[in-house]
Amino acid sequence: MDLTKANKNLFVVFVVFIIFTGFTLVELYLLENMALGKQAYQSSTLYGGVAGRAVDGILSQDSTDNSCFRTEFETNAYWEVDLGEMVFIDHVTIYPRENFGDFYSEIRIRDIELYIGPSRNEYAQYGFYEGALPKGLIHTFNLTNTVLGQWVGLTRSETVVEHFELCEVEVYAYPSACHYRLDKGRAGVNALNIAPSPSLSVVQCAVKCCKMYGCYGATLHEDTHMCEYLTSDTGVEADNSLMLIPLG
């Protein structure tokens, strides 16, 4: 697929954001590299540099480690990955090859366009790196707002006619099941049939729920430091305070 014609070692990193939106309400989510090990595609393949090398979790930028993808010498060369589900994408980080001359970096890794879409045929452009990316320099496309999507694609401006190669592409996002609204210190209306467990923080409490089958929310009792797991995503307590609600 030509992305330019659209709507213009295993390693996992977790990042937790906490945003205070009032005296008690906390909104948090868990970021993870959703591209790791997923099915990837590219416009063509040269010297065995298949698309999957960019999502193998090997962060080496040395092409001799056989962990970089490479396309043929062509215009509109592209690379893309299917994340397998709709997720909220926060940022995308690319790792260019470092063991070649600056000249090749200037002609191959330049004017890079980032696309995101709900499907392979519904891309929209969300990022652009103008000019040449210096060899070996890791670059992150930080999105202004999180973008809901399943497919992520990278290409270059149509004026670039060269091989396209990168050594790793990380797509940091969070699944809708791990996005919470939390009213700290208040019990939920429908507790899961699992005993509360000790938790040192709101983050730890939420992460435990995120990994637990059947858990749609959790409340941290700050006085006892116990995390209660909830099954309801719609309940409101008698005093109309909010409970933990997953987005999606």
Q: What is the pLDDT of residues 176-205, one digit of tens each?
A: 666 555 555 554 455 666 788 898 777 778
- Count CB neighbours of 78 within 10 A: 24
Name the pTM for this structure: 0.71
| pLDDT number for residue 86 | 87
Which of 92, 94, 90 has the alpha carbon at shortest distance from 145?
90
Residue whose token pair is 């393949």: 45
**CB-based burial label for 33 (10 Å; 0-12, 13-18, 19+):** buried
3-174 in CATH: which number?
2.60.120.260
Handedness of CA 11, 96, 38, 151 (dihedral sign): positive
Note the pLDDT of residue 92: 98
Q: What are phi and psi of 90, to 5 degrees?
A: -100, -45
The whole-number pLDDT of residue 34 equals: 96
Q: What SS3 state is found at 225?
A: coil
Q: Report how far residue 202's alpha carbon sits from residue 23's, in angstroms, rounded to the nearest whole number.
A: 14
Contact 154, 113 (CB under 8 A): yes
Q: Pick out the chain residues at pLDDT < 50.
A: 4-5, 7-25, 187-188, 234-242, 248
How confident is the model at residue 29, as a pLDDT? Answer: 67
Report the pLDDT value the prediction gives residue 191, as an integer from 0 to 100.
Answer: 60
On the 0-12 / 13-18 / 19+ scale of CB atoms within 10 A, 92 is buried
| Alpha-carbon gap, residue 70 to 78, rounded angstroms | 10
Tell me the domain boundaries of the chain. Answer: 3-174, 179-230
Query: For tokens 């809901």, what's the residue?
Result: 148
**Predicted local distance difference test score (pLDDT) of residue 240:** 40
